[in-house]
Amino acid sequence: MALYLIGDVQGCDQPLARLLDDIAFSPSRDQLVLLGDLVNRGPDSLAVLRRVQRLDGAAQSVLGNHDLHLLGVAQGARKPGRKDTLAEVLAAPDREALIDWLRRQPMALHRELADGELLMVHAGVLPQWSLGDTLALAAQLESVLRGPGWTEFLQTMYGNEPARWNDSLSGSARLRVIVNALTRLRFCSAEGVMEFETKDGASAAPEGYMPWFDVPGRRTAGVTIACGHWSTLGWVSRTDLISADTGCVWGGCLSAVRMGATTADRELIQVRCAQAQKPG
């Protein structure tokens, strides 16, 4: 069995189909983890959702900010944005089944490999969180999204505050920090204060901030974290980080990483993508 990680698809179904062909993905043999943002900005979000859903137990997708945005729009918690390409999903006859499937996807996934831990999230992890903390907090959010009060939660999901974690947080404020860290984080301070305005690469960190994975002493430093979300960061492969959003929707590549028995055993497979959106 092979484990494949795939970066942000964002509604680009044709590149996803080509990539799955290139890796000869077999649902009976292999496992697929998509690192979030299945939908939006690209032309075929509906086809992407249907394709991944059909893979059933062979595929999971950690939820990204665009996936949560689709849930919010579908349930009337948010109006569609100017650049959204979600109308086909919202008008689909199987809309309710797809939305229900999407809201039951994980916020974080974990695998034990021969030499260490692999944690998979869409965006990032706050420096105060250990691996156990991250999985427990993700599970809290998953419980809400899969529960009877999920539409009420979506009404309070949006916003940048609180900007940092505190163990005493409760209710919607607590869940909002978890959402923002796992699905939106790029830069934070050494104390874990999140910054959401800057979307350029790692060298563009505002004064007092740094990429979340470079915070000294972060509690997940001994864990290999695989993420997407940050297309201007692009492909990064280092001992503690796999960054796999290579800008498919912007005309870059769609990337898959074949994980071997150890965290260092990685193979990158990419397909070129036609530009579906212009940055800006």
Distance CA 39, CA 41 (A): 7
Q: Which residues pair with 32 in a beta bridge?
A: 4, 59
Q: What is the pLDDT of residue 1?
A: 83
SS3 label, residue 201 = coil
For residue range 70-96, what is the model confidence (pLDDT) as tens digits?
Answer: 999 999 999 999 999 999 999 999 999
For residue range 196-232, what is the model confidence (pLDDT) as tens digits?
Answer: 999 999 999 999 999 999 999 999 999 999 999 999 9
Confirm if 11 and 52 have CB atoms less than 8 A apart: no
Radius of gyration of the chain (CA): 17
Confirm if 77 and 151 have CB atoms less than 8 A apart: yes
Q: Judging by beta carbons within 10 Å of its beta carbon (0-12, 13-18, 19+), is residue 38 exposed, middle or buried?
A: buried
SS3 label, residue 45 = helix
Contacts of 217 (CB under 8 A, 6+ apart): 127
Against a cut of 0.85, is the pTM above it? yes
Distance CA 238, CA 115 (A): 15
Return the residue matching tokens 């998979």: 120
Instruction: Please name which of 41, 40, 47 lies closest in space to residue 13, comparing C-alpha atoms.
Output: 47
For residue range 167-198, what is the model confidence (pLDDT) as tens digits?
Answer: 999 999 999 999 999 999 999 999 999 999 99
Instruction: Please name which of 63, 51, 67, 55 lies closest in space to residue 14, comparing C-alpha atoms.
Output: 51
Contacts of 132 (CB under 8 A, 6+ apart): none
Q: What is the pLDDT of residue 280?
A: 65
